[in-house]
Structure 1
Amino acid sequence: MSYGYAIIARMSPPELTDDTGLRWCPASDTHDIALDGSTLVCRNSSGRRLKSVPKNVRDTEIGRQLLAVREQLQRHERECVTTVESWMLGALPVPFALLTKVWADPAWRRALSDLAVTADLSAEPGLLKRIDETGRVGVVNLDAESEWLDSDHLYVPHPVLIEDLADVREFAAELGLSQTIPQLTREVYAKPAEVEGNRVTDYNGGEFDELRQARARTATSGFAVRGPYATCRASDAGRELQARYWIGDENPDYSTETGDLLWVDADERSVPLSEVGPIAWSEGIRMAALIFAGRKTDEK
């Protein structure tokens, strides 16, 4: 039983399942309601599905319960995506036993399906297609052949670690794949062979008419604001770093200009660029580039 149906199964009155797989709950003598994905839907006593849910039906006790279930499902889906993305950002090994347990849940399956995965970060990845009841992980390799990964764990590699990333991207495009988590479409930035100091200045001088605009750009790009910095986290070889990109500390109504990008460790100490791993480097540069792209230009 999936996560969503497990919640609905605990509700009353008992539900009725139709040939579409929807579980209908009686809301009144003349209407049933159900969740179709994340949409609340309604049918009348003759079984005809209505274009909208009448307010008096939505406001019934069962209507309120289903809306609460929808919120739980949406929160669960976000948690699945966030968790799988953390595996990618941390280059973490994921036990097959765990994957076997979560695969039956549609939210987990959507988050995992079609990701490039591998049992060894140095090996060529395959695209995840299925996980069977014994815990075997089935993938399609770059030769378009199905195979089972022979290991007790797998990795969801960050794209910067995929050696032949262009080939994998091309193969995924040929198959028409669409990943829930932006792995293959994610912007990547390779770390230069030689770097010095502890700051990157390539994205300095991005002007915003108001600091609130820079903060909004940070939030819509998926990053957090901590004091005067836009921030993001990533790990390399088990070492977690936080990238910090200066966006300003003045009044939110005042203009601002972006500054240095740097990385700090768990003790808030600045890390030399030479010690920043490839994932943390790529994610930090990606953050700065996305925010910098929203700066004021002559065209605006």
Structure 2
Amino acid sequence: MAVKEDDVAWVEAEKDYAVGLADGKLVCRNPKGKTLASVPKWLKESETGESLKALAEWLSDHELECQHTVERWMLGSLVIPRDVLSEVWPDPAWQLALRDMVIAPANAAGKVDYEKTGLLRDVDAKRGMGVIDLDGETQWHRAASFTVPHPILIADLDELRELAGDLSIRQVVDQLYRPVAQPTAEQKVLKQINDYAGGKFEQLNFALSVCRRLGYPVRGGYATCRVFENGQSVQARYYVGDEYPESETWTGALVFVDESEHAIAIGDLGAVTFSEGVRMASAIYAKRKVEDDSEAAS
């Protein structure tokens, strides 16, 4: 790994060595000031080395927590005070999560102005929130609050995707290119979706591993995803199995339940809730075992 010396804050260590962090990895230089290709084992295990490794782990966890928080803001359609944005923006981890996200300003009463959505690029205590609008121009909003809209709520989604592509923008939190889904007329009268049922996993363990990697907790045999929308907390549940961990399993229905554990008709769901439930089910179903023609014939 090529180390940019100017980007490393060196800390004095044993035997006149120095250690630091570069891209989250422990690096070192010898007493002559030469950066080494690898860190000696004794230096890794020294008190200074262990402290920096612990710091690197904390910073990594902090980055993930910032990203998960921004995603929760989006899934909950939460209106966030601009003061909060001003406070967290100086933190590089928060900037990484928030920069280039589509935001929309909201007034003191929490009413969102979706006509002024733009890609967040900067935050200034006096000028407010700096965004790039659909015309590629920088606009500053001094609104009291803002929201990070789910893509299914963004009217100009295609135009914003094109703008982001032109600017070579890559979001850390999946928003612009997040898969979205809307129910069909036939689905709206149902209380469960079976489009993703019948997906085979050779072991339940494999299905559970997929759920963990995708970030969906499993409860009682169901992968779950909770969304707060329109003042209601709804949990999407997708059956992945509840037998022995080593046994075969097949996926089942996707259902949505309220806080009283009652199933909700698809037509009564919010747009974000339905879309996120389908996103979860389709992502897990995509990892199923698919038999090729020779297996099917035998």
**TM-score after normalising by structure 1:** 0.89
In structure 2, what is the equivalent of residue 131 of structure 1? Answer: 123
Are the equivalent residues in 1 in contact too, given 2:199–2:289 (CA < 8 A)? Answer: yes
Contact residue 38 and residue 70 of structure 1 kept, 8 A: yes
Partner of 1:29: 15
The code of the aligned residue for 2:238 comes to Y
Q: CA deviation at 1:296?
A: 2.4
* Letter matched to residue 255 of structure 1: E
Which string of whole-angstrom CA distances, capped at 9 and with x for unpartnered residues, describes residues 108-162 of structure 1? 0000000111112532520000001337100000100000123111111111111
Of 167-176 and 132-141, more deviation after overlay is shown by 132-141
1:140 and 1:129 map into 2 onto residues whose CA distance is 7
The CA distance in 2 between the partners of 1:201 and 1:210, in whole Å, is 21
**Equivalences for residues 249-264 of structure 1 within 5 A:** 249-264=242-257
Q: Deviations over 1:70-100 (max 9, x none)?
A: 1111111111011011001111011110110
CA distance in 1, matches of 2:164, 2:30: 43
SS of the residue 2:71 aligns to: helix
Structure 2 matches for 1:1-300, cutoff 5 A? 20-119=6-105, 120=112, 122-134=114-126, 136-192=128-184, 195-299=188-292
Shift of 1:175: 0.7
Q: Whole-Å Cα distance in 1 between the matches of residues 55 and 93 of structure 2?
A: 14
Q: CA deviation at 1:107?
A: 0.3
Structure 1 SS opposite 2:11: strand
Partners of 1:125 and 1:287 in 2: CA distance: 26
- Kindly tell me the number of residue pairs found equivalent between the two proteins: 283
Contact 1:97/1:135 (<8 A) preserved: no
Alpha-carbon RMSD across the aligned residues, in angstroms, is 1.8
- For residues 124 and 201 of structure 1, the distance between their equivalents in structure 2, rounded to whole angstroms, comes to 38
**TM-score, structure 2 as length reference:** 0.90
Say whether the 8 Å CA contact 1:124–1:162 is kept in structure 2: no
